[in-house]
């Protein structure tokens, strides 16, 4: 029986993700202020991502402890459920800016990948201006109010008898939005460059 020929993997989506988020040398024809801004913002997002990823350590330790205590000693904790939600939520929200810098947020790449680079840049730039920044600014405004109210009221979670304070996780949400706004500036510059030059920063045309 003849073997099926090896198929080449479609890596177009991965290439779309990896083309952005580089902190290396920008294109020579890019304005100096724009290139420096992109590099510095991307480095900041990478720095925050490297720190935020350590949240997985206490998350794993807490869950392992809960499983062992529950299964081996019949002594379940009252804090494991809330801790798992809080730490996972913090990991997700605080790492969103870093994820954006790497281009791994969900998007309709099955259409986007077939666009010319210039068209991709125009689409990205337009969507950032019309939806991304306005939406995040509204979200930031609302979250600021929720956070202030949570701190003033001493809000506690009501799902378990542990009843933890809610302001720490809402603070993570606030910072997560800030990180997304900061990285969004870098992505806006990249998309503007692609829309005007027909190539992404650092690429050879």
Domain that holds residue 145: 32-105+115-197
13 falls within a domain? no
Question: Do the Cβ atoms of 200 and 23 come closer than 8 Å?
Answer: no
User: What are the Cα distances from residue 135, in Å, to 9, 22, 141?
Assistant: 36, 26, 10
68 falls within a domain? yes
1 falls within a domain? no
Instruction: Please determine, for residue 107, whether its predicted confidence score (pLDDT) is greater than 90.
Output: no
19 falls within a domain? no
Q: What pLDDT band is residue 20 in, cutting at 50, 70 and 90?
A: low
- pLDDT score recorded for residue 43: 95
16 falls within a domain? no
Query: What percentage of residues in the chain have a pLDDT greater than 70?
Result: 86
184 falls within a domain? yes
pLDDT tens track for 111-135: 888 889 999 999 999 999 999 999 9
Instruction: Please determine, for residue 180, whether its predicted confidence score (pLDDT) is greater than 90.
Output: yes
Q: What pLDDT band is residue 11 in, cutting at 50, 70 and 90?
A: very low
pLDDT tens track for 29-41: 889 999 999 999 9
26 falls within a domain? no
- pLDDT score recorded for residue 114: 86
Question: Do the Cβ atoms of 35 and 26 come closer than 8 Å?
Answer: yes
Confidence (pTM): 0.87
User: Looking at residue 166, what DSSP letter applies?
Assistant: S
d(CA 23, CA 36): 10
Total domains in the chain come to: 1
Residue with the larger pLDDT of the pair 43 and 204:
43
pLDDT tens track for 44-73: 999 999 999 999 999 999 999 999 999 999
d(CA 61, CA 63): 6
DSSP the chain: -PPPPPPPP--HHHHHHHTSS--SPPPTTS-HHHHHHHHHHHHHHHHHHHHHGGGHHHHHHHHHHHHHHHHHSS---SSHHHHHHHHHHHHHHHTHHHHHHTT-S---HHHHTTS-HHHHHHHHHHHIIIIIHHHHHHHHHHHHHHHHHHHHHT-B--SSTT--BSHHHHHHHHHHHHHHHHHHHHHHHHHHHHHHHSS-TT---
d(CA 182, CA 64): 35
Query: What percentage of residues in the chain have a pLDDT greater than 90?
Result: 74
Question: Do the Cβ atoms of 96 and 180 come closer than 8 Å?
Answer: yes
């Amino acid at each position: 029986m003849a073997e099926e020929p090896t198929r080449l993997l479609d890596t177009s989506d991965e290439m779309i993700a990896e083309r952005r988020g580089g902190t290396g040398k920008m294109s020579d024809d890019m304005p100096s202020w724009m290139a420096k801004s992109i590099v510095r913002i991307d480095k900041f997002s990478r720095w925050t991502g490297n720190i935020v990823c350590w949240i997985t350590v206490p998350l794993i330790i807490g869950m392992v402890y809960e499983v062992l205590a529950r299964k081996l000693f019949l002594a379940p904790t009252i804090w494991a459920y809330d801790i798992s939600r809080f730490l996972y939520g913090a990991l997700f929200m605080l790492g969103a800016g870093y994820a954006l810098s790497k281009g791994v947020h969900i998007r309709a790449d099955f259409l986007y990948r077939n666009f010319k680079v210039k068209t991709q840049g125009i689409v990205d730039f337009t969507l950032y201006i019309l939806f991304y920044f306005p939406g995040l600014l509204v979200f930031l405004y609302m979250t600021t109010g929720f956070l202030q109210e949570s701190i003033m009221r001493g809000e506690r979670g009501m799902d378990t008898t542990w009843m933890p304070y809610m302001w720490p996780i809402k603070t993570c949400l606030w910072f997560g939005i800030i990180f997304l706004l900061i990285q969004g500036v870098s992505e806006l510059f990249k998309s503007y460059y692609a829309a005007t030059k027909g190539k992404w920063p650092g690429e050879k045309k």
